Amino acid sequence: MSSNNVYDKEHPRHLIPELCRLFYDLGWMTGSGGALSIKEGNEIYVTPSGVQKERVQPDDLFVTNLNGDELDGPPKEKKLRRSQCARLMMTAYQKRDPGAVFHTHSPSATFISILYPGNEFRITHQQMIRGVGGRYDEELVVPIIQNAHDETKTIAKMEKALDDYPNTNAVIVRRHGIYVWGESWQKVKLRCESYDYLFETAIKMKQFGLDPAEVPKGEEVAPS
């Protein structure tokens, strides 16, 4: 699943551009939105900022250590900057030690944060909850933090959410997008897809006046 060989197509330098193209097609990285990172050994590969994500090239990536210090970067003539969300990603790397952290501007994640004005997204009795590591009949809770123009404020909120929700593998940033992590890029990609499925279901339920967090009649609650 991982490799030190940059010629290997499973190397982050190839996987990240490929996933950027896929996520662009899904509408998660349009308008240069979002950022992807994958850890390879002690190195973290991150996308650049402000560019067309679906056109990112292998040598456009930044490489940092776990402290976020830059080890390598794109050729200077490309004039690229590291993704501004990289610091929020580092929070997840430092507190959870994942193999990958993806940040997308998924429209359904962004819209869910508008529909749920509180600090949590909640849904239950959905098979797709298994796709993010839970049970069909449990209540899935994903923390929502406030966005801010000043990124420093968001980092503190991200840290707090990770402390307050020790089992979560995702944080929604209100009116902005979502951060998702896991032990491998495959797991994180599957989780991103599953969260989106759940968010879309919840939005449609609310359109029909239904509460996604309500246990359906005649159904049981997960044993605690």
Q: Which residues bind a copy of itself (CB under 8 A)?
A: 30-33, 51-52, 105, 107, 110-111, 114-115, 117, 125-128, 131, 135-137, 146-149, 173-177, 186, 189-191, 193-194, 196-197, 200-201, 203-208, 210, 216-219, 222
**Cβ atoms within 10 A of the Cβ of 80, count?**
20
Q: What is the Cα–Cα distance from 93 to 137, expressed in whole angstroms?
A: 30
Q: How near is the Cβ of 31 to a copy of itself at its closest, in Å?
A: 4
Least distance (Å) from a copy of itself to the CB of residue 49? 10
- Residue 169 and residue 155: Cα distance in Å, rounded? 16
The residue (of 64 and 124) whose beta carbon lies closer to a copy of itself is: 124
Cβ proximity to a copy of itself: between 61 and 123 the closer is 123
Q: Name the H helices within the chain.
A: 12-25, 86-96, 107-115, 151-164, 185-207
User: Which CB atom, from 43 or from 133, has the smaller least distance to a copy of itself?
Assistant: 133
Smallest separation, CB 117 to a copy of itself (Å): 8
Q: Based on CB atoms, which residue is closest to a copy of itself, 71 or 210?
A: 210
Secondary structure, 3-state, 41-83: CCEEEECECCCCHHHCCHHHCEEECCCCCEEECCCHHHCCCEC
- 147 by Cβ neighbours in 10 Å (0-12 / 13-18 / 19+) ranks as middle
Min separation Cβ 115 and a copy of itself, Å: 7
Q: Coil, strand, or helix at residue 179? A: strand
Q: How far is the CB of 197 from a copy of itself (least distance, A)?
A: 6
Q: How far is the CB of 207 from a copy of itself (least distance, A)?
A: 7
Of 36 and 63, nearer to a copy of itself (C-beta) is: 36
State in Å, rounded, how far the first CA of the chain is from the last one.
Answer: 35
Among residues 63 and 195, whose Cβ is nearest to a copy of itself? 195
